[in-house]
Amino acid sequence: MAKDDFGFEFDLKGFTESLTKIEKQVLPTAQAGFLNGIAFGARRSLLAYAEKNIEGSPNAWTKRGFVVKKATAANPEYSVEILPEQAKYMQYLVNGGERRVGDPGATKYDVRVDSADETKNRFGNSPRHYLSRISKKAKREKDKRGKLAARRDKLRASGKSVAAATWGAQKKSTDSGIFFGKIRNTRGYWQRPEQRGGKLKLLVRFADAAKYDASFKWTTPSPAT
């Protein structure tokens, strides 16, 4: 027990013990808050860097993959990470490498290399499910053309005109048709010309593999506060 010059008594030992208890409770929490501020600043810097260095800018799904694993009072460590699903795609930008059939971003049969400019959104990517839509459309067309060919064979065999069983007679006025094939060493989905003798248009190009150079420097930006 201590006594000051004015006759006021106070428990110095108890006060010291209380202060130590407060320090143990408050300081780790304050430290975690400070570290998390740095972490979220680093995340903002990485997103800003991604906007400048990813061709066409990252889309909303990619941005959601940049997350902060926050520090706590019990564990004063933080990290800025990419979620596993987004990391599967980002790995080619961060580490470089070769994407092959079956890898993330590829199909079971091919690796999509590029798409027609008019099919891309402002991020430089084809709209969601675009490939699935044109694949199904090409399959429907192939089936229909097969049936029309069989129908023409029957008409010819019976000496009748085949005009009504041609693709031109069946298709919509604005639909020239699409198909999957290899033209001049380029494999992909092609749009048929509207007029006979016209030019084919490549919609999606495929290859067996696609090589990537490391272009996204994960440690380059400094935290922005």
Distance from chain centroid for Cα 222: 24
Beta carbons within 8 Å of 79's beta carbon, 6+ residues apart: 39, 68, 69
CA distance 152 to 147: 9
Secondary structure class of 78 (helix, strand, coil):
coil
> Which is nearest to 104 in space by CA: 73, 83, 123?
83
Q: How far does Cα 132 stand from its chain's mean position? A: 16
- Give the span between the Cα atoms of 175 and 2, in whole angstroms: 96
Contact 89, 99 (CB under 8 A): no
Residue 40, CB half-sphere, CA atoms under 13 Å: how many? 8
Query: pLDDT 10s per residue in the chain (225 long)?
Result: 444 444 444 445 554 566 566 666 778 888 889 999 999 999 999 999 888 887 767 888 889 999 999 999 888 888 999 999 988 888 888 888 888 888 887 778 788 877 777 776 655 567 667 888 888 999 999 999 899 999 999 999 999 998 888 877 776 656 678 999 999 889 999 998 877 778 899 898 888 888 888 888 876 455 554
pLDDT digits (tens, 9 = 90+) for 32-70: 899 999 999 999 999 998 888 877 678 888 899 999 999
pLDDT at 165: 85
What local confidence, expressed as pLDDT, does residue 59 receive? 83
Report if pTM > 0.75: no
The residue written with tokens 């693709």 in the block is 167
Q: What does DSSP say about strands 186-191 and 97-100: parallel, antiparallel, or unpaired?
A: unpaired
Residues 113 and 207: beta-carbon distance below 8 Å: yes
